[in-house]
Amino acid sequence: MKLDDILRQAHELDASDIHLVAGHPPVVRVHTVMTPMDAAVLTPETTQGFIKHMASPEALATFDRQRDSDFSYEVKGLGRYRVNAHSQRGVIGIAMRAIKTKVPPLGTLNLPEVISQLTYLPRGLVLVTGDTGSGKSTTLAAMIQAMNERYKAHIITLEDPIEYALQSNQCLIEQRELGQDMPSFASALKHALRQDPDIILVGEMRDLETTSLALTAAETGHLVLSTLHTVSASQTVERIIDMYPANQQNQIRAMLADTLQAVVSQTLFSRVDSRGMVPAVEVLLCTPAVRNIVREGRTFEIPNVIETNRAMGMRSLDASIAELYFNGMISRDDAIAQAAYPDKLDRQLAA
């Protein structure tokens, strides 16, 4: 079976991920469920051929050297894919994430209205966090597109890889891909500050240098959007602080308190009322009280601040999950399994 035929079938199934592992038939993830395709078992020669078909010479060289390589692949008329090729038990495995080619409007993503308001911020740091596959990239792309339709600004995105191909509308948009257009997030971010940007999207704050540069960019008057693999607002703040040596943490708390505007933490659920997925979203907005909490290292108070400021648009993850359940969108079992406080939510849903 040809690779493009597998991808075409996966597209018809509305699969989010495709897994091609030697010794197994192709397996797809459809609305979080892993399902084998009705196809022949893949051979090592087949998966090797798939890599050679998709990867650039640079990506192939990286795979040969490290036995792991990330790159993107596009099938005209079908879509784009984020690809990881790797070695497992001596044979080749390929994981492919389908990337939607059209940026969905922000208002269609079932996100809280306050997230749309974040696109009006003139400066500061906005973080969209969550596990892999939680919809962070889609939320950020929709936010960028909303600003693209409203402002006359210069937007630079630094991505690994480029997911949504954004078209300049009111804004001038430049998209740079790790490995192809830049050697690292930190290097690209350092140079981006000299390229007259208004808005910078950093695909992930994955190391200390990138995080420091992102905070500096936000501090110097840019709007910076980025992601972290954290599941709550309080954990996000702690993760950033913990990246720094102990003797720098007080300084960074002050810097983060001054620059952070909001943390949006997402978790995706399979819908029970229709096909597709729906996000539960925790939202922290940086009020003066929150800035004092961050500055003084009292992050354990953040969940309580979120609970007591719902009128401002803040919401806890469990409140968002409960709302989805009571609206008939998700199952009770899924709601409790993903909750921050399962026992408390269980009692709430039973009330």
In angstroms, the CA 54 to CA 47 distance is 11
Average confidence score pLDDT of the chain = 95
Residue 351 has pLDDT above 80, yes or no: no
| pTM score of the predicted model | 0.87
Residue 1 has pLDDT above 80, yes or no: no
Q: Which two tokens stand for residue 260?
A: 């952070």
Q: Which fold has domain 3-99?
A: Beta-Lactamase (3.30.450)
| pLDDT tens track for 10-44 | 999 989 999 999 999 999 999 888 999 999 999 99
In angstroms, the CA 136 to CA 120 distance is 19
In this prediction, what percent of the chain has a pLDDT beyond 90? 89
Residue 287 has pLDDT above 90, yes or no: yes
Q: Domain-by-domain residue ranges, the chain?
A: 3-99, 106-350
Mean pLDDT of the region 103-116: 96
Q: Which fold has domain 106-350?
A: Rossmann fold (3.40.50)
| pLDDT tens track for 220-243 | 999 999 999 999 999 999 999 999
Residue 101 has pLDDT above 80, yes or no: no
Residue 100 has pLDDT above 80, yes or no: no
| pLDDT tens track for 153-184 | 999 999 987 888 899 999 999 999 888 899 99
In angstroms, the CA 157 to CA 202 distance is 6
Q: Which residues are paired to 285 by β-bridges?
A: 262
| pLDDT tens track for 110-132 | 999 999 999 999 999 999 999 98
Tell me whether domains 3-99 and 106-350 share a fold: no
Residue 80 has pLDDT above 90, yes or no: no
Residue 311 has pLDDT above 80, yes or no: yes
Residue 102 has pLDDT above 90, yes or no: no
| H helix runs in the chain, sequence order | 3-12, 44-54, 57-66, 113-118, 136-148, 185-192, 208-219, 233-242, 249-259, 288-295, 302-307, 317-326, 332-338, 342-350
